[in-house]
Amino acid sequence: MLLEELVNLKNETLNEIEKVEYESKKDLQEIRVKVFGKNGILTAMSKGMKDVEPQDRPKVGALINEVRNSIEQSLVEKENEFKAKELNEKLENEKIDITEPSKGSLKGAFHPISDVIDRMIDICVKMGFSVVEGPEIESDYYNFEAMNIPKNHPSRDMQDTFFINDNILLRSQTSAVQAREMEIQKPPFKIICPGKTYRNDSDSTHSPIFHQLEGLVIDENVSMADLKSMLMTLMKRLFGEDTTIRFRPSFFPFTEPSIEVDVSCPTCHGKGCNLCKGTGMLELLGAGIVNPKVLEMSGIDSKKYRGFAFGFGLDRTAMILNSIGNIKYLYKNDIRFLEQMK
Ligand code: DAH
């Protein structure tokens, strides 16, 4: 009787397992519970062994094992089949088409300061200037004294900087590079030097770290007219053909005569707007004819050679070119600001 039930259980269950479809694969678990669970059919039959006549027990026991094994094997085979199918389905769905064109990549942009430096270098190199660099940690001598700004000279007040000791400081102007170059270059020569400069200044148009571009031309017959035409060309290339420039007399210890240079506002073209505070013009740089004293201090014969020099504020130039209202934006690293520079 029990033997027959066992054979029936085996055949029915194998049949049932065979019929389970992938879509209803949960049924396998139900079959497993129904047969092998705590209250499962085979579990109950195994428990019934104690009522079997002792001489029949080995036979019944062997059949129970056989039924258990074949149902278990059939279940595992079916489960494996479904697992393989599931994996294939997953792989199929997650397939990446590496030949598909991308949806557009993130495009970076140059920082406005780097952009201005690049543009200036480009323009100046085409006019025959070569690009030099100087140290940001500078000596008092090159930053001030060689620029005809002796100790205790009142013009040092405007360039209060960060001192490392009495003689070493963070350069307050790229003009320091003028003296360094005059000591090593043989005239005639034309150099520009872009770079970082430092001062004890901080407001909406001043930052303790800022950038300048220095220019120096040393030759036998340079004049204010050369300076003017060179600057005119530079400004037009930088701000546009309709740019006009204005010279105003000024004072710098290292140039004589000295001038400050304004450009017509590139936003309103001289009519007056917010950027130029209604004046139509923007102050942009200092320049002049190199003071003979400066030439002599650096070993250049001032009877034979003359020079002109100029110094741009690059932060200001970048702000004008990009209509940036506060210098702090240039140093905040705010991605929302930088994104607008594309
Ligand atoms: N170094 C000056 C400053 O930082 C700017 C300057 C003025 C540079 C006149 C020059 C120059 O080369 O000739 O204020």
pLDDT digits (tens, 9 = 90+) for 66-81: 989 999 999 999 999 9
Per-residue model confidence as pLDDT tens digits over 88-97: 989 988 888 8
Q: Can the peptide bond before residue 188 be classed as cis, meaning omega within 30 degrees of 0?
A: yes
Q: Is 312 in the pocket of ligand 1 (CB under 6 A)?
A: no
Per-residue model confidence as pLDDT tens digits over 251-298: 999 999 999 999 988 888 889 888 788 999 989 999 999 999 999 999
Backbone angles phi, psi at 168, to 5 degrees: -115, 135
If you search the block for the tokens 């088409």, which residue do you land on?
Answer: 97
Q: Is 261 in the pocket of ligand 1 (CB under 6 A)?
A: no
Q: Are strands 209-219 and 255-264 parallel, antiparallel or unpaired?
A: unpaired
Distance CA 47, CA 45 (A): 5
Candidate of 199, 256, 310 to mutate for ligand 1, largest count of ligand atoms within 8 Å of Cβ: 310
Ligand 1 centroid distance, CA of 147 (Å): 10
Ligand 1 centroid distance, CA of 146 (Å): 13
Residue with CA at minimum distance from ligand 1 atom 13? 287
- Looking at residue 156, the DSSP 8-state letter turns out to be G
The number of beta carbons lying within 10 Å of the beta carbon of residue 299 is 10
Q: Is 112 in the pocket of ligand 1 (CB under 6 A)?
A: no
Per-residue model confidence as pLDDT tens digits over 121-137: 999 999 999 999 999 99
Per-residue model confidence as pLDDT tens digits over 225-260: 999 999 999 999 999 999 999 999 999 999 999 999
Q: Is 311 in the pocket of ligand 1 (CB under 6 A)?
A: yes
Q: Above 70 in pLDDT, residue 180?
A: yes
Q: Which residues contact 334 (CB under 8 A, 6 or more apart)?
A: none
pLDDT confidence of residue 302: 97
- Looking at residue 37, the DSSP 8-state letter turns out to be S
Residue 104 structure tokens: 């557009």
Residue with CA at minimum distance from ligand 1 atom 2? 311
Residue with CA at minimum distance from ligand 1 atom 12? 310
Q: Are strands 168-170 and 189-198 parallel, antiparallel or unpaired?
A: unpaired
Ligand 1 centroid distance, CA of 270 (Å): 25
| Amino acid letter, residue 138 | E
Q: Express as a percent the part of the chain with pLDDT over 90.
A: 62
Candidate of 226, 252, 308 to mutate for ligand 1, largest count of ligand atoms within 8 Å of Cβ: 252
pLDDT confidence of residue 1: 67
